[in-house]
Structure formats: structure tokens, C-alpha cells
Amino acid sequence: MAETDSEVRERLLKQSTTSNLSDFNLRKAYSIEEYINHIGFGSYQIKLTFLAGCIWVSFIGMFIGDPIWGWYSDVYGRKMAVFYSTLWTFVYALLSATSPSFFWIVFTRGLTGFGISGAIQVVTIYCEFLPEIYRCLSILVLAVFWSIGGCLTNLIAMLVMPTLDWRYVLGFASIPCLVFCLLYKFVPESPRFYLVSGQRNKTLKVLADGAKANGVSLLEGDLIVPEKDSLGQIRTLFKKQHRKTTILLFLIWSSAGFCYFGMILLSPLLLVNQNCGNDNTVRNTISDCSCKPLTTKHYQYLIATAFAEIPGLIVSFIIIQLLGRRKGIALQFFLAGIPIPFLIACTSSATKTILLSCTRAFSNAVFQTIILYTAEVYPTSIRAIGLGMCSAANRFGVFISPLVAQVIFPKSNLAGLLIYTILCLSSGILALTLPIETRGRLLQITVVDNFSSKLDLVS
């Protein structure tokens, strides 16, 4: 009969005790802390510090890039910020695919993350062209491309990984960046940026081009030029009229990133490893199986959960139109959090796919709605830096989410899932306390309060 783990450990302990008893009586005993203190700090620890720092570089690139691209977009223009960030992403994505070592893959992915963080400024330039009545629908339609990108990434991995490797996945995934760079010259600069930066003639030219393309004529009369305002100033986000909104948005964005990317991290664990709520079984199963290659079936489940985000956006549009931005964000947080505890149940992969699809659909819907709200609530002079800083707060939530998904969850499924649930529900409550409802609100140009009524006429 084969020995159990406890019997093996007991036998080895007896052998060790018997063979080393005489030596033990002759030698002094030291604790692990004394050993480490004796070894000291040298090249070994420096190497570990460097390797640990490399892990953070891949995340910190996005965290640092968000406010930098936001500031650049407010000061030098949305179009240039989007172009340079996309070009940067493409170059370092290709370099990461050719990395010869662990250090270079982490380093190049960190620089790729810096470029990716500028992608959110697409929302800034896009929303500043949209009439108010079409803004909500248009931003959510733009979000469909995010979900399509998720589906395509999983599809590429499913087709490429069995015969090639991850390098080809990174290479193929960077192609859309190249396509955008080639189409860059067709992207117009935001007329609102031109206006707030004092470039009146360029503003009129962009408006004339838009009117001509849509078959309408420009309004007769003069264009109201706003008073001069500082551009891209972080401190403006914390002035009296924006302070409460900014703090609440930081918390909500962080929670949205924590929950959305947590569900992405949990998806393969929940689909690959079957359990019936037994934490010990789950812990052993995950430690043994979490690094197994995904099969075609698993990729299909991941594609299904990513595709489910698209109908979720349709539901999100209906909710936002009926309830407004604040209540809509709150309800979607609630709907994202409710299915999470049921993922611990002993169910089939198909059932878990449905639950994950619901959670991911509403988590993504929350994410897109707060992007819309943030773009609407800040004036043009600080819109990009506002989005950038909120996106940086989102990265903070993404940073700590793996601690729950990959550390706490394997030890206790219930504890890990409850953390995500509680955070979703509490964030929904926070959304209800946002001071401004932006549905039906015209985009403001500057922070100058005494000019806002006139700005509404031309916004």
C-alpha cells in the first residue's frame, strides 16, 4: 500500500532526527532570521530587487503613462497624443515579441503599457465631435470595438498557440496599431481643443469640414471664444467645483478596474478547474493545474465571455437612457456583483460561462459608462488630464486585483469572490453620491463659471 503524505513526512523526519542527532548536540542552532541577517545585503539581494522591480515595470508603465498622455493631450492636442501613443505601442509590442530574455520581455511590455495608456484619449477626441443626443450611444458603440478586440485576441491565441508560440500572438495583436498609424492623416483635431487653446481659425475650419461632410451649412454669426484658461493642470481637478467629483471618480474607477480585470483573471481558473465549493480541493487543484495549456474548448469559452460584453453594452445603453449616468453606473455595479458568489457552486463549465459572461458584461458596461461620465463632467481644458488621472486610478485597482484572484482566491474561493462582490456593491452606492448628473448636459469648455451659460450655446 502506498504511503500517505503524512506518513512520508513522518518517516523522513525520523530518519533526519536519527542521523543528525549527534551533530545537532555539537552545533549551535540558528533561526532563519539570524541566517538572513548574517548573509546580509549584497549582490544576491540586488539581483532580487531588480527582478522584483521588473515585474512592477510592466504595470507602472500604464500608471505613469495615463496622466502624461492626458496632460499632453490637453496642452498639445488630442490627435497628436493618440498618434504618438499608438505608434509607441506598436513599436514596443513588436520588440516585446522578439525579446530574448525575461528581463527584456518585462522591460518592453512596461514600455508597451506606457503607450497603451494613451489609448483612452481616443474617447476625448471622439466625444468632442458628438452632439449631446448622440453622445451616449456613440461612446458605447465605440466600446464595442474593445470587446471585439478581446474576442479577436482570444481567437488569435486559439489559432496560433497550438502550433507557434506567444511571440506570434503579440505580433499579430499589434497589427491594428499599425493600421491606425497609417490612417492617422484622416483623423481631424478636436475643434474644442482648438477653441480652448485660442486657435479660432482652425476651429472654424474643422467645423466647416464637418458641416460639408454632413451636407449642412455652418451657423450664421460669430463663434463665441471662451476666456483664456490653463490647460491640463492636475490641481484644477481638486479645486472646489471638481474636488468631490474627482475623489469619488478615483474610487469608482479603481473599483471598476479591480472587478473587471479580476473577472478576466478568474475566468481561466474557474473554467479549467472544476470544484464543488471545497476550498482544500480547489487549492490543490489550482496549484497543480493553473499552468496547464488552455485547450480549444477553453478558448471558445473565453471568446464567449468576451463576446457577451457586447449585448451587455446594449443593456447598458437602455439603463443609462432610463436612469441617467449616476443611477445607471450604480445599477450596473449591482448587476455585475450579484452573480459573482454563485461562481463557487458545483456547476458545469457552460453554467459558469453564463455567470462569468453576465459579470463581465456588466463590469465592462460600468467601465464604459464611467468613461462617458468622466468625459462629460470635466470641461475641455482639463478633460484629457481628468480621464488620464482617473485611468491611473483604474490601474491601481488592476494592480491589487491579482492579489485577490491569484493569492486569496486559491486559498479560499468564497473569500476571494466575496471581496469582488462587496466592492461592486459598495462602488454602486458611491456612484449615487456623485454630485453632477451629466445626462442632457452640454460639454463645458473652460472652468470659468461666469462664462458657462454662454458656452452652452456653442457646445
Report residue 302 as a C-alpha cell.
473565453
Which of 244-253, 267-276, 287-296, 400-409 is predicted least confidently? Answer: 287-296
Query: What CATH number should be reported for the domain holding residue 135?
Result: 1.20.1250.20
User: What is the rounded (10 degree) CA torsion for 188, 194, 197, 198?
Assistant: 150
Smallest Cα–Cα separation from 120: which of 170, 74, 178, 70?
Answer: 70
Decide if 35 is inside a domain: no
Decide if 66 is inside a domain: yes
The CA-atom distances, in angstroms, between 38 and each of 31, 33, 34, 35, 84 are: 11, 8, 6, 5, 50
Decide if 20 is inside a domain: no
Q: Which amino acid is at 360?
A: R
Decide if 313 is inside a domain: yes
Q: What pLDDT is stored for residue 457 in this prediction? A: 34
Mean per-residue pLDDT over the chain, rounded: 81
Decide if 19 is inside a domain: no
Q: What pLDDT is stored for residue 285 in this prediction? A: 42
Residue 49, pLDDT > 80, answer: no
**What is the distance between the alpha carbons of residues 358 and 355, in angstroms, rounded to a whole number?**
5
What is the span of the domain harbouring residue 98?
Answer: 43-127+130-187+224-458
pLDDT digits over 70-96, tens only?
999 999 999 999 999 999 999 999 998
- The neighbour count for residue 320, using CB atoms within 10 Å, is 26
Binning pLDDT at 50, 70 and 90, where does residue 263 land?
confident
Decide if 270 is inside a domain: yes
**What is the distance between the alpha carbons of residues 212 and 206, in angstroms, rounded to a whole number?**
10
The CA-atom distances, in angstroms, between 321 and each of 38, 266, 378, 441 are: 66, 31, 20, 13
Q: What pLDDT is stored for residue 85 in this prediction? A: 93
pLDDT digits over 53-64, tens only?
555 565 677 888
DSSP output for 24-52 = HHHS----HHHHHHHH-SSHHHHHHHHHH
* pTM score of the predicted model: 0.79
Smallest Cα–Cα separation from 301: which of 277, 270, 276?
Answer: 270
Asked whether the beta carbons of 409 and 416 are under 8 A apart, the reply is: yes
Residue with cell 468625459: 375
How many independent structural domains does the chain possess? 1
CA atoms within 13 A on the CB side of 256: 29
CA 65 to centroid of chain Cα atoms? 13
Residue 391, pLDDT > 60, answer: yes
Return the percentage of the chain with pLDDT > 70, whole number. 80
**What is the distance between the alpha carbons of residues 242 and 282, in angstroms, rounded to a whole number?**
46
Decide if 193 is inside a domain: no
pLDDT digits over 287-343, tens only?
444 456 667 777 777 777 777 778 888 888 999 989 999 999 999 999 999 988 888
Grouping H, G, I as helix, E, B as strand and the rest as coil, residue 253 is helix
**What is the distance between the alpha carbons of residues 253 and 377, in angstroms, rounded to a whole number?**
14
Decide if 207 is inside a domain: no
**What is the distance between the alpha carbons of residues 419 and 111, in angstroms, rounded to a whole number?**
31
